[in-house]
Structure 1
Amino acid sequence: MSNLLKLVQIGKRELALDDDMYRDMLQQTVGQRSSKNLSQWQLSKVLDHMKALGFKPKPKPAAKTQVRLPECKKILAIWITMRKQGFIKNASDAALDAFVKRMTSQINGGQGIEKLNWLKSEDAYHVLEALKRWHYRVMKEAILAAGGRIPSNDDCTGPAGYGKLAEYYQDFIRK
């Protein structure tokens, strides 16, 4: 079923047209009593007539951020995780895009990239690393504030890296 035909059917329902009224309207508008074999042009004409009768098609809801690069998917995952952990108060797409612009303006000499999905791989990598550093810092502060200790890396030569600290933090907050 074409999108226009779907809209015509929705219009029929929202205008509360019974079957006879609907078929009469079709006959008057395009000279046919069924919408089954109408062309796209005819469906468009029927839809315009329905709009004149008061039908207001609702726009599709805006799609959530669609990301294409693996780095961008990781950025989005960490952003959502930080929101769930309470480190980010405004986790909207606009707030994420503002973060992306701020981080890319630092590496591109003041000219930031406006949207997460506009990033190229190299810029996405820099934004991802900046977000990981931020997340690391706030997890570390939360652990220390709760009286915990920061785990060491696998070689016991320094503090744990991002991945290990993130796992530790998850276990730490469950206790």
Structure 2
Amino acid sequence: MSTRRFTATTSQSKAAAQRKRELGHIHQGRAALGWSEDDYRYHLHQLTGRSSSADLDDAGRAKVLAHMATLGYKPKASTFKPFTQSAKIQWLWRKIDEHGGLHDASHAALLAFVSRTSGMKVDSLDWLPVREASDAIEALKAMLDRAKRAQRRP
């Protein structure tokens, strides 16, 4: 009779996201605890034998975060909420205006721009298909880059 062991598996993308989140918490903790670069390297080396958090495995990151918790650090809850495409389009439009890249910054002008870019009449950005919204976002990013370059010129 053989004994079967259960092996937990996770996708690479989930593991990478978890690693990134934990590294972020480590760096937040370093700042919250007021550690200098030397203090940070000392603690990493004492706890894990590594001098960089990038070299830590899952257990090493857990050990560092547990140590930081004993010193009073509690990671901040993530309140990040990604932009919707509509919100990103509006945000980019405002940024372009802030950099002097627009003659008319009105919402009507934005809708007209998106209509020209997408090749379809747009009455509301919320109903814009994903592909057309992506095209508009890329066009707005290029406009923002041009506006920033033009602003830097003497």
Which structure has more relative contact order (CA 8 Å, sep 6+)? It is: 2
TM-score range, shorter-chain basis? Answer: 0.3 to 0.5
- Higher radius of gyration, 1 or 2: 1
